[in-house]
């Protein structure tokens, strides 16, 4: 099984787990026979969910009776013990039994336990939480989305290197990188942003094209592939984008079902409406990545369904096949 991507799966994290997690694995397996799943969770429950759905040569079950709860603080999660499904899944990557780990559980706990188990890549000070966003031309990588509230110019510079490596591992193209700012002019922004701008300019990195600053209203235009920010600003931008997408979808649904004319219009435009709904479906972009650690860690949204979790398993596969960690090390 040397050609297989070996994914360590925390089956007990997130809403409706482990059923959602196992259904996601089954759905993913039906379209990808090159993944091997090492599943950590309550064996008796999981065996009934997966029985006769996947050949036993494609997965392994590791029984865990303890788990990290959604309401645990990161410290409480770490104190809960080394026998939780999250800890053991991460530890299997540390021990090189698996290539990558994924969890839909507590985000803070996942970051802290990952940092306790996995080393940082040399010369990287802080890991970043990155994710994929849709734009007019395809997809963008955005980071940091909340792992680091305060960042130095060195941190933001590192994020640009790691984000470009992630983009190239997923899409095999040289990206355009920009710093999220309150204006596109060189004099705009705080001192940290300005110093980062100068640092990236002076370094003249060959692995990406530096596009300077990008404003929030241009995030979706597709001219920039990697968008770099501190965790506070990035998280606000993420939540604003998610809220706006939900607002548009709900208001459009009301407009098209509120009266007879709307219902007739929705029937006539059914194909285009389905395309629109699919484009804004958050399940398609599920799977945030902690980058900066010497092994990749993927965070699936806790509230997603099995389709979303399956898509995050695809992200895991593409990260390993795209050789993300080596690309980051080469950039650094």
* Measured distance CA(191)–CA(197) in Å, rounded: 10
Q: What is the pLDDT of residues 250-300, one digit of tens each?
A: 777 776 676 666 566 655 566 565 665 565 566 666 778 899 999 999 998
Strand order in the sheet with 297-299: 59-63, 35-41, 5-10, 100-103, 297-299, 288-291, 128-135, 138-143, 226-228, 176-180, 209-214
Q: State the DSSP code for 216.
A: G
Segment 161-187 mean pLDDT = 88
DSSP 8-state secondary structure symbol assigned to residue 23: H
Query: Tokens 């839909």 — which residue?
Result: 104
User: What pLDDT shows up at residue 262?
Assistant: 54
φ/ψ (deg, to 5) at 113: -65, -35
Nearest to 120 by CA among 92, 82, 89, 162: 162
Same fold, 1-124+292-332 and 131-284: yes
Q: Which of 92, 87, 86, 85 is nearest to 36 (CA)?
A: 92
Q: Is 217 helix (H, G, I), strand (E, B) or coil?
A: helix
Domain ranges in the chain? Answer: 1-124+292-332, 131-284
CATH superfamily of 1-124+292-332: Isopropylmalate Dehydrogenase (3.40.718.10)
Which residue carries 């104190």 as its tokens?
79
- Per-residue pLDDT band for 244 (boundaries 50, 70, 90) equals confident
Q: Which CATH number, 3.30.465.10, 3.40.309.10, 3.40.50.620, 3.40.718.10, labels domain 131-284?
A: 3.40.718.10
**Residue 275: its pLDDT value, please?**
63
More confident of the two residues 323 and 116? 116
Q: Which residue has the tokens 């299997």?
A: 92
């Amino acid at each position: 099984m040397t050609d297989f991507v070996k994914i360590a799966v925390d089956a007990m994290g997130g809403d409706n787990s482990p059923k959602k997690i196992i259904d996601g694995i089954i759905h993913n397996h039906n379209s990808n026979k090159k993944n091997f799943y090492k599943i950590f969770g309550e064996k008796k429950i999981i065996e009934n969910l997966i029985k006769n759905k996947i050949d036993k040569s494609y997965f392994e079950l590791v029984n865990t009776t303890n788990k990290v709860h959604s309401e645990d603080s990161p410290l409480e999660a770490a104190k809960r013990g080394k026998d939780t499904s999250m800890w053991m899944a991460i530890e299997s990557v540390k021990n090189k039994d698996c290539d990558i780990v994924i969890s839909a559980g507590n985000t803070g706990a996942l970051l802290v336990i990952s940092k306790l188990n996995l080393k940082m890549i040399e010369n990287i000070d802080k890991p970043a939480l990155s994710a994929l966003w849709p734009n007019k031309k395809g997809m963008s990588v955005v980071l940091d989305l909340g792992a680091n509230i305060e960042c130095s110019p060195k941190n933001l510079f590192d994020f640009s290197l790691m984000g470009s490596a992630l983009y190239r591992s997923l899409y095999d193209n040289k990206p355009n990188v920009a710093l999220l700012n309150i204006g596109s002019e060189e004099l705009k922004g705080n001192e940290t942003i300005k110093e980062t701008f100068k640092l990236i300019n002076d370094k003249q990195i060959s692995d990406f094209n530096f596009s300077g600053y990008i404003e929030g209203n241009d995030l979706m235009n597709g001219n920039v592939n990697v968008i770099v920010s501190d965790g506070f600003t990035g998280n606000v931008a993420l939540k604003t984008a998610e809220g706006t997408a939900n607002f548009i979808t709900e208001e459009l649904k009301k407009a098209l079902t509120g009266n007879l004319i709307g219902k007739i219009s929705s029937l006539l435009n059914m194909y285009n409406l389905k395309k629109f709904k699919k484009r804004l479906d958050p399940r398609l972009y599920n799977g945030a990545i902690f980058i900066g650690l010497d092994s990749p860690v993927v965070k699936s949204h806790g509230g997603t369904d099995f389709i979303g979790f399956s898509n995050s398993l695809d992200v895991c596969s593409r990260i390993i096949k795209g050789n993300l960690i080596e690309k980051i090390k080469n950039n650094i």
